[in-house]
A and B are shown apart, each in its own frame.
Chain A
Amino acid sequence: MKGSRRVAAFGFAALLGLGVGWVGRASALSTSDRPAGILVWPKVVVDTRGVFGAPMDTRIDIASTYDQGIRQAHCFYVNATSHCSVSGLACRTGADCGSTGGECVPSWSEIDFDIFLTREQPLDWYASQGLAGSSFPLPSGTCQGGTQDTRPCVSSLQCPGGTCSFSNSNVGSSIPPVPEDPFIGSLTCIQFTGGSNSVPDQTTARNRLIGGATIVRRFANGFPDDPARYSAVGLEALGNAVSGNTLQLQDGSGNYSSCPSTLILSHIFDGAVDPIANNVSNQYRTELTLVPCSNDFLTQRPGLAVAQFLVFNEFEQRFSTSRTVDCLLDTPLSLIDTRNPARSIFSAGVAGSIAGQTRIRGVGGRDELGSGLLGVARALVSGMPGGPAGVTSAAYGLHQQGNARTDVIILP
């Protein structure tokens, strides 16, 4: 009899465990569809002079969905541009430094700034230019009362007998241009409450930011410009007040929803030939950009994680590899595991089919920071009939599954 009781208890525990496991797997709330309290743009690129190919710039957009008043976004550009050790020029790989430029050395720095969005206001800017002063749509306040009623103002001194109201203006906002050109990096914006004691917004008006980015490349006249657009990834505020300057990204007791434990990328294998054109010059490839969820902006330590890649082809065959993501990883798929793309597990010649699925999981990392990852992909097609000598591209978000262990963002 005791045995049957034990069996029942075991069954209870097993079912409970199953239930908990199910909750853990299904409850990830990171999103690229819904308004959120933290927005992450994993890929911001600027190369207006075309140092690395066709000139390009990134048009960033952000909007408040709050219809009652101003929301503040506190934003961080992370500069992940590498530089040649001798020449100091920007580089992507050692090959960009040539024989005399030295090694291509990774670097990391951040700059932060504020954006004040009026009710349901959309705002956009080019990363190469930023926005400042009168470039904002609503650069000044409005006098309320007094002799200058309804006149534009920047201070109550300009409103004798009244006050200068900033409830309908972008005053206080300033968006710097990215710190260098060429530039590659990411952008993170956190919704704050605004006002004199502005803190990360966990009020009922939290989760009101949406955003996206359009990477625009310019070819020679006669060829199409190449816009590639993706939505910023959002992490929803959970309503738990932030203690100190550390934002806990953890479902349940944390301040914001967890980053996903697994990112899923569907792609065409690199080097796959277009089946219709059946011309070897019409090839597909995919660029992947990954950024860590965690960042320590206080002591200037970037997030770090090892990305494990599990690759499936259309024959249900599986390959795997891994690569460290230190601050930011931006690479063609077929250069993740080798320097010879033709021998990569991401190559169509190796995989043997056109379509592939890659599951990406962040592990390791710094103890005090997490190992969650966020990312975006860009599909590229080369040599299409009538197209430019280069490639055309389209960006798209990665799918997300499960919850990563706790990530943190430490504010300065």
Chain B
Amino acid sequence: MRRKRSGWLAGVGFVAALALAAASEGQTRSGSDRPGSILMFPKVVRSASRDTIVQITNTGNSVNYVHCFYLEGPQSQAANAACQAVDFELVLTRQQPTQWRASQGRRVSPGDAFGSPQAGYDPGLIPPLPQGFEGALVCVEVNSNGEPFGQNRLKGEATIVDDGTGDVSKYNAFALAKSGGDTDNNLNLDGSDYETCPATLHLNFSPWGSLDPVIEDFGNANLNSFISTNLVLLPCDLDFRNGTRTNGTVSFLVRDEFESPFSGSFPFRCWTSIDLGSPSSGLSQFRSTLLTGGAIGTIFAQAQLTPTRPLVGVAESFHTDQAGVTGAAATNLHTSGSANATVRLP
């Protein structure tokens, strides 16, 4: 009897521990400022003038196996077929940081000299991206057998470099933590298997065509400065197994500093890049009243984006002076709410 009681006690302890762990899982939420098990880099570009430096770090004290996918957007000039993915694998030792240029990838070359550009433990063979690539990078923690395995120790950053001007912009990868659940290849972003994705995205931005007061003050731009914002969106629903695309619509509500609301919608696909407020976008709700058809009367506005299926995104603002020279700054979007999605691995 006593032995049974001891077993019962141990069982209670185990359940209590599980319950406490579960309680903590309810509080952890996806974001760009803490390590996770799935990393999403919404914007990776490799053009004639721009390139992307990817940094991924294992913040844990165990070896971390990582399965990554480059996803080519439909607007990519390098794509043979829109929304296709290329995958590769990484192995990161404890606390190991690693980096590569998207245009170069990374070879496995153990003989690299100390201090040389590719020095360090090679994480694996990383394919170089062709010129014209626009898309995303998604990385998932797996075990040595390639099965999803949550250590929640991955973090990442992307630096977009303009090799012509030297301009750089940088953002953090969006991370989703493993909460529990199974290890099959359907990664359910539902709060029980992995954290959920955000339901709403918030973007603080300057409307297309706004003047940049700093450039005007510093550079005598003679009212010829120009601010624009590029928004990139990546669905959380990703099907790398079947190559099925996720399409939908983003409803938005823009408010300027006068609290004036403007609303509308636009479609998204497996990867969407949109110059907010540009004539080609057709979204005058994001355009300054300084330009024909513009709606925003102030130099700053807030947009709430509510998609039909959950998205993550990155915004990059471009500040141009009268000589047409441009500097860029990338930023992660703010998020609120939660929505379920699924990532399917091959």
Contact = CB atoms under 8 A, between A and B. Distances in A.
Interface of A: 1, 4-5, 7-9, 11-16, 18-20, 22-23, 26-35, 48, 55, 57, 59, 61, 63, 65, 118-124, 126, 137-138, 168, 210-212, 214, 216, 218, 221-231, 233, 264, 266, 268, 272-273, 275-278, 282, 312-316, 318, 348-349, 352-357, 359, 379-388, 391-401
Contacts of B33: 30-33, 233, 397-400
B94 to A, nearest CB: 6
28 contacts: A15-B14, A15-B17, A22-B20, A23-B23, A28-B34, A34-B334, A34-B335, A57-B214, A65-B202, A120-B302, A121-B259, A122-B300, A168-B259, A221-B322, A224-B162, A264-B57, A276-B103, A316-B95, A349-B115, A353-B115, A379-B159, A381-B166, A384-B161, A387-B167, A388-B166, A391-B166, A394-B170, A397-B332
B308 interface: no
Contacts, number: 329
Given A27-B28, A59-B214, A313-B120, 17 more contacts: A5-B2, A8-B13, A9-B9, A15-B16, A57-B214, A57-B218, A229-B329, A312-B95, A314-B121, A316-B121, A355-B120, A384-B162, A384-B165, A385-B164, A392-B327, A396-B171, A399-B34
A55 B214 CA distance: 9
Contacts of A26: 24-25, 27-28
A221 B13 contact: no
Interface string B195-225: 0001000101000000011110111100000
Contacts of A275: 101, 104, 117-118
Contact of B170 (A231, A264, A379): A379
A23 B10 contact: no
B219 to A, nearest CB: 6
A34 B202 CA distance: 9
A113 B312 CA distance: 34
Binding site secondary structure of chain B: mixed
Interface centre among B17, B301, B330, B333, by most chain A C-beta atoms within 10 angstroms, is: B17
Contacts of B204: 61, 63, 122, 124, 210-212
B73 to A, nearest CB: 22
A264 B21 CA distance: 23
B105 to A, nearest CB: 11
Contacts of A19: 16-21
